[in-house]
Amino acid sequence: MSPAILPYPKPHNVPQVDDYFGTAVPDPYRWLEELDSAETKAWVEAENLVTASYFEQLPDRSTLLQRMEQLTDYERFSAPSRYGTRYVYAHNSGLQNQAVVYWTEGLEGQPQVLIDPNTLAADGTVALGGLSVSEDGTLAALALSEAGSDWKRILVRDVATGKDLPDEIRWTKFGSPAWRLDGSGFYYAGYDAPPDGDPLKAVNHFPKIYFHKLGTPQSADAMVFERADDPEIFLHVSVTDDGRYLVISQHKGTSPNNSLALLDLDSPAAGVQQLIADADAAYSPIGNDGTRFWLYTTLDAPNGKVIAVDLAQPAREHWTIVVPESSSNLNGASLVRRTLILDYLTDAQSQVELYSEDGTHRGTEPLPGIGSVGGFGGRRDDAETFYTFTNFTTPGAIFRLDMETLESVVYRAPKLLFDPATYITEQAFVTSKDGTQVPLFLTYKRNLERDGNNPTLLYAYGGFNVSLTPAFSPVTIAWLERGGIYAQASLRGGGEYGEAWHAAGTRLQKQNVFDDFIACAEWLVAQRYTSSAKLAIQGGSNGGLLVGAMLTQRPELFGAANAAVGVMDMLRFDKFTVGWGWKQDYGSPSEDEAEFHAIHAYSPLHNLHAGTKYPATLITTADHDDRVYPAHSFKFAAAMQAAQAGAAPVLIRIETRAGHGAGMPVRKRLELSADTFAFFLHELGAAAD
């Protein structure tokens, strides 16, 4: 479809020029940062009309949506968690917009509804953004999110009656409330209320830890802790299983490194004490026995290890190593029935090892195959734990692990609506520009021919220590059924190989991420899985930045692209909401000259050039995204449409009453996926006849 058929809006330019260390940088679409202005709203409406007219003529759209609905229409459960004698879990019957949370008396008791978010809004756009249940299972703190916003409103519900107490907490964002053991109230991280009329854009600084006593107004909540010395600190709070200690984790932006503070709740007058004052590594409590704490840390161990710290002798010279660093990345740790359950990533696949509290190896937990696990929650004295297993063709199955016998049994498993034996998953290792070996998973039909003609979707993220591991998605099955290949790359910047792997894709080394992705794309073409004309790429958030960088660095390498909720204006990412926190990964474009030049060299918005033939591009965002401000996508779309010299379309799809992705109703998710895959198939020449 040629640009002549697509009547893109003609946004005006403004003479905005910023100076960065002597470099003049124009920003002609700065006005699109004002989301509520009449001219921005008019531009959004015009762009959505263009995009809607494009999708209306795609025959695959409706058939894909129908098949995705069928594949998604299966029962899904979360692993249950025990509180007192009650168990709590989430359940979706299939196509419900939001999962319903249930509780049972005992593991096999009759399910009772704790909260059904589907009843909170007719369009399914109010979601449960967090849930904390008191130790005895009688009360639940419900964090509700509206229209996809990161802002949460906390209500307190009586579990047995389903009635809400008068308590209400506003202006919280990240983390979950932490109950006192006696259920008298909970601790939470809160922000000052944003300026009137500006909750989705205003910068969020200086979170504080408060204690909310049940039955009192929020205005009476006592502030327990703050870091007035640094506005860019995130705070997360938890209470130890024995109820003795409040644990406050403090980390600078999105850095994995943190400091730890403790408040002895038996002696609160002593005040908060810094256990680990220097954020020189990651420190995460696993469990405790009185004053003895087991901690996960990356101190002198980029792949992670387990140490023991006794509050009676907290100095570092008294710390002991319980489980030393492995060649695999320690991805998660818990302490159940006095057993350390350690979830490692070995080449981006899960491997679970069990150790006694003194570090003696108890065994390896057998898994059904190549895949990813999650869960293993519980307390130090619990007799059981639950975990999930999934991979690209296996929906999440839940297992119960008996901590006495160490035997696992299937607790719940979805009924499949397709034959997983039809597909095969393999893992390759691709050599990047500097010789680094990059893991690449590929899933496709067993009878696939490597003739260079297969529509292929390459997905990646590459940032913030996030690990991409095998996971099931019903919409991906719809892509595979159409003869597509799904390829997932584990790039530097992620956490697949520990902190060294993460650091190698940050700040001045960010180009490594893009080089890794380019190498994977070139490998897929060279090995004749696909060709450039048949290769689509996709990424969201930091992965949207990745796609934007690929469009500007190697536009000829791809046939189609979807940049979802991406960080596109890398010179202004720290100006909105919590964007300042990303400087730990990206660097600071306004405070460090070397980092400015590195960022400016790849910033998607600033590397679009008129006269370039860009591949077919679908930019997706949402009007309530207060994580990655929608103006990133707005400005990039306007600039790319103006620069496009080829015949391929450049579209932007702007979802309404939705945010960064969390809590989006199932229907909206499926419509977005159907639109995206129909776009890919059409532009790659693989649409149905």
d(CA 660, CA 191): 20
Which residues are catalytically annotated?
541, 660
d(CA 389, CA 392): 11
Over residues 553-563, the pLDDT tens digits come to: 999 999 999 99
Q: pLDDT > 90: what percent of the chain?
A: 83
Residue 252's pLDDT band, with cuts at 50, 70 and 90, is confident
Over residues 347-395, the pLDDT tens digits come to: 999 999 999 999 999 999 999 989 999 999 999 999 999 999 999 999 9
Among candidate residues 396, 417, 401, the one with its CA nearest the CA of residue 363? 401
Note whether residue 99 is domain-resident: no
Note whether residue 501 is domain-resident: yes
Over residues 316-331, the pLDDT tens digits come to: 999 999 999 999 999 9
Note whether residue 196 is domain-resident: no
More confident residue, 204 or 420: 420
Note whether residue 187 is domain-resident: no
Q: Is the model's pTM score more than 0.85?
A: yes
Phi/psi class of residue 474: alpha, beta or left (left: φ > 0; alpha: ψ in -120 to 50)?
Answer: alpha
Whole-Å CA distances, 39 to 32, 44, 397: 8, 9, 49
d(CA 353, CA 341): 6
Note whether residue 129 is domain-resident: no
Over residues 273-311, the pLDDT tens digits come to: 999 999 999 999 999 999 999 999 999 999 999 999 999
Note whether residue 465 is domain-resident: yes
Domain of residue 655, residue span? 444-683
C-beta of residue 518 within 8 angstroms of C-beta of residue 543: no
Over residues 384-428, the pLDDT tens digits come to: 999 999 999 999 999 999 999 999 999 999 988 899 999 999 999
Note whether residue 154 is domain-resident: no
What is the number of domains present in the chain? Answer: 1
How high is the pLDDT of residue 661? 46
Find the farthest-apart pair of alpha carbons in the chain and give their distance in angstroms, rounded: 74
CATH at 665: 3.40.50.1820
Can you tell me which residue has the tokens 């409706």? 62
Note whether residue 543 is domain-resident: yes
Q: Residue 165's CB: how many other CB atoms inside 10 A?
A: 13
Amino acid at 689: D
C-beta of residue 653 within 8 angstroms of C-beta of residue 619: yes
How high is the pLDDT of residue 624? 56
Residues 6+ apart with CB under 8 A from 435: none
